[in-house]
């Protein structure tokens, strides 16, 4: 059930009856939800086309409006139609939603959706920049699974490039004991290996040889590489576990896994007649890609030295995703600098017939995470800030807040709550921003109990739960009728019934901030209801009805946060 769609359809029909042709009415929820009504705003445009007075047309629309869910309608301003839904209808829907595992959300047609996210290069440990793709991708996965899709997580980690030559050459120089200590900190390991390469030309030459040997399947190199990759994957998995990210080892589809497919890919592109040799490299030229100088821009599939670039692996990955995984859709959660890369990947894949009109492969780009001073995130030494350290700091900072807010909590409660609040705050800071722009990572804002933050929402949730505790009522087994009379009750009911609309809006362009915005507004409307409508002091029927409203609010808040990968606690 989707309130907006129901109203949209009814108004559209009424507009047609009144003589309007063409575009359906656009119906928007009232900008201020506490008004407790929807406002149809498609009449003015239609009136203009018909050469009619908009208020006159609105009157005709109201006359033929077939919307039993509406208690009353009125014309507002130059020709808007305000639709007040019947409180009895809202109450009935709410009772149904309360018992519905999907909380009123209808499952769309089931699709197979590949979500390509996180995907760090395994040469180094994950850094703060990986927070974006990891948190956004995981939210998309959770939302899509909730909607009933067949979701395939793909962690397309980089494990095969030139940088591994240096690491392997360095690893080979160390004895076994050193190796374990050195590999504890991949960041340092990477720095040491790079330093060796710049200091010693013989080492650098050896490093280049190692890449060739590795890609040629040399046993010694493969064994060293395996040790290194294993350590690096364990690092990643530890970060995922710490941050409650649903990726596991089973979701790994590293670049190296496509290695065998690359010569086949070349052959296929050659047979399809789109492969061109240019300065010794094998390329695909498509008209839509031109460089600044207007010259055609190649998609390089094999370099002149015989090596396969990133492009080749991604094309093989597209083939795998359509032909083997049968993906209807693939979402690539990768930074904005790779926009051209993915445009080329998808265009070449279309030209080669790996993608057709029915498959929806999309790059979902995102901007940078900046420090409060607007600069890029680096340590004082200029190294990347490790994501693992950031997560630890989030929990440490949250613990101070939790201890200050509620000093009487036991230590183990404090531990659990600060983990949920700290990690939640960090993810929410990410997810509540527009994906495509840069944003500033600021501890004080994200950990605030006020404003559009995880702690605020998590706290709102505990407030609701504490009502039940004080009432001595078990929320799940509570029975009774919902009656909506107070305007704050109606506003809350309507907002709760807009959960399906919010989810639909999120999946249009996979902007999680739409869901955050919804949850934030819901919490605000709940708080207003909580202040205006006494619960425990009300008469029995009202008390039950209000407790039932509280229960739906708690369920939607918990589910909504859960879809963002954020947990809740019972007290804070």
Binding site for ligand ARG (CB under 6 A): 116, 119-121, 156, 158, 314, 317, 332, 334
Rounded to whole angstroms, how far apart are CA atoms 38 and 459?
29
Q: How far is the CB of 119 from ligand ARG (least distance, A)?
A: 4
Report yes or no: 3 and 11 within 8 Å, Cβ to Cβ. no
**Which lies closer to ligand ARG via its Cβ, residue 73 or residue 319?**
319
Q: How far is the CB of 332 from ligand ARG (least distance, A)?
A: 6
**Which lies closer to ligand ARG via its Cβ, residue 98 or residue 156?**
156
Q: How far is the CB of 114 from ligand ARG (least distance, A)?
A: 10
**Which lies closer to ligand ARG via its Cβ, residue 12 or residue 232?**
232
Q: How far is the CB of 369 from ligand ARG (least distance, A)?
A: 15
**Which lies closer to ligand ARG via its Cβ, residue 54 or residue 120?**
120
Rounded to whole angstroms, how far apart are CA atoms 136 and 188?
28
User: Can you read off the two tokens belonging to residue 219?
Assistant: 């046993």
Rg (CA), the chain: 28
Residues 6+ apart with CB under 8 A from 210: 164, 165, 166, 168, 169, 172, 221
User: Which residue from 507, 485, 501 is spatially nearest to 3, judged by alpha carbons?
Assistant: 501
* 290 membership: H or E segment, kind and range: strand 281-290
Strands (DSSP E) contained in 10-167 are 27-29, 38-40, 70-76, 80-85, 112-116, 150-154
**Which lies closer to ligand ARG via its Cβ, residue 388 or residue 453?**
388
**Which lies closer to ligand ARG via its Cβ, residue 316 or residue 497?**
316
**Which lies closer to ligand ARG via its Cβ, residue 332 or residue 456?**
332
**Which lies closer to ligand ARG via its Cβ, residue 317 or residue 387?**
317
Q: How far is the CB of 284 from ligand ARG (least distance, A)?
A: 17
Name the DSSP class of 258: G
Rounded to whole angstroms, how far apart are CA atoms 435 and 423?
19
User: Can you read off the two tokens belonging to residue 328?
Assistant: 């209807």
Q: How far is the CB of 516 from ligand ARG (least distance, A)?
A: 24
Proportion of the chain in helix, strand, coil states, percent, rounded to 5: 55, 10, 35
Q: How far is CA 539 from the centre of its chain?
A: 43
Q: How far is the CB of 312 from ligand ARG (least distance, A)?
A: 11
Q: How far is the CB of 121 from ligand ARG (least distance, A)?
A: 5
User: Can you read off the two tokens belonging to residue 43?
Assistant: 């009449």
| CB-based burial, 243-275: b 16+ in 10 Å, e otherwise | bbbebeeebbbbbbbbbebbeebbebbeeeebb
């Amino acid at each position: 059930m989707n309130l907006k769609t129901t109203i949209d359809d009814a108004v559209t029909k009424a507009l047609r009856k009144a003589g309007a042709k063409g575009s359906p009415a656009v119906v928007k929820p009232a900008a201020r939800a506490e008004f407790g009504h929807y406002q149809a705003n498609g009449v003015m445009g239609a009136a203009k086309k018909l050469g009619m007075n908009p208020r006159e047309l609105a009157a005709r629309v109201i006359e033929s409006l077939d919307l039993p869910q509406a208690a009353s309608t009125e014309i507002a301003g130059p020709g808007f139609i305000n639709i007040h839904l019947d409180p009895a209808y809202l109450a009935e829907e709410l009772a149904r939603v309360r018992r519905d595992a999907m909380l009123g959300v209808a499952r769309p047609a089931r699709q197979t959706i590949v979500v390509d996210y996180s995907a760090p290069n395994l040469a180094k440990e994950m850094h703060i920049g990986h927070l974006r793709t990891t948190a956004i991708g995981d939210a998309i996965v959770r939302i899509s699974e909730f909607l009933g899709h067949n979701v395939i997580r793909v962690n397309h980690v980089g494990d095969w490039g030139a940088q591994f030559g240096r690491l392997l050459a360095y690893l080979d120089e160390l004895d076994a004991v050193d190796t374990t200590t050195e590999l504890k900190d991949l960041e340092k390991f990477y720095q040491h290996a790079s330093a060796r390469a710049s200091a010693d030309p013989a080492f650098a030459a050896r490093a280049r040889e190692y890449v060739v040997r590795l890609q040629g399947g040399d046993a010694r190199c493969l064994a060293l590489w395996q040790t290194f990759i294993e350590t690096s994957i364990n690092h990643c998995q530890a970060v995922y576990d710490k941050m409650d990210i649903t990726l596991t080892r089973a979701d790994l589809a590293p670049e190296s896994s496509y290695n065998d497919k690359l010569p086949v890919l070349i052959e296929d592109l050659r047979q399809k007649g789109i492969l061109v040799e240019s300065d010794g490299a094998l390329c695909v030229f498509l008209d839509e890609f031109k460089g600044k100088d207007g010259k055609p821009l190649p998609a390089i599939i094999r370099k002149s030295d015989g090596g396969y670039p990133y492009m080749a692996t991604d094309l093989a990955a597209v083939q795998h995703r359509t032909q083997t995984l049968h993906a209807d859709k693939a979402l690539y959660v990768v930074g904005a600098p790779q926009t051209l890369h993915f445009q080329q990947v998808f265009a070449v894949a279309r030209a080669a017939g790996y993608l057709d009109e029915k498959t929806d492969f999309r790059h979902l780009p995102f901007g940078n995470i900046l420090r409060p001073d607007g600069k890029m995130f680096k340590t004082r030494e200029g190294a990347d800030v490790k994501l693992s350290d950031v997560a630890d700091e989030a929990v440490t900072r949250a613990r101070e807040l939790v201890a200050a807010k509620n000093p009487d909590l036991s230590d183990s409660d404090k531990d659990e709550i600060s983990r949920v609040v700290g990690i939640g705050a960090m993810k929410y800071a990410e997810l509540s921003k527009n994906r495509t722009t840069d944003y500033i990572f600021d501890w004080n804002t994200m950990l605030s109990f006020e404003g559009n933050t995880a702690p605020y929402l998590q706290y709102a949730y505990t407030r609701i739960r504490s009502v039940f505790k004080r009432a001595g009522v078990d929320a799940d087994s509570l029975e009774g009728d919902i009656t909506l009379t107070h305007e704050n009750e109606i506003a809350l009911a309507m907002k709760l019934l807009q959960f399906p609309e919010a989810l639909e809006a999120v999946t249009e362009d996979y902007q999680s901030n739409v869901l955050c915005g919804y949850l934030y507004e819901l919490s605000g409307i709940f708080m207003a209801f909580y202040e205006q409508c006494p619960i425990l002091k009300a008469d029995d029927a009202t008390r039950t009805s209000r407790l039932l409203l509280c229960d739906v609010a708690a369920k939607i808040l918990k589910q909504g946060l859960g879809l963002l990968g954020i947990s809740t606690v019972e007290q804070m």
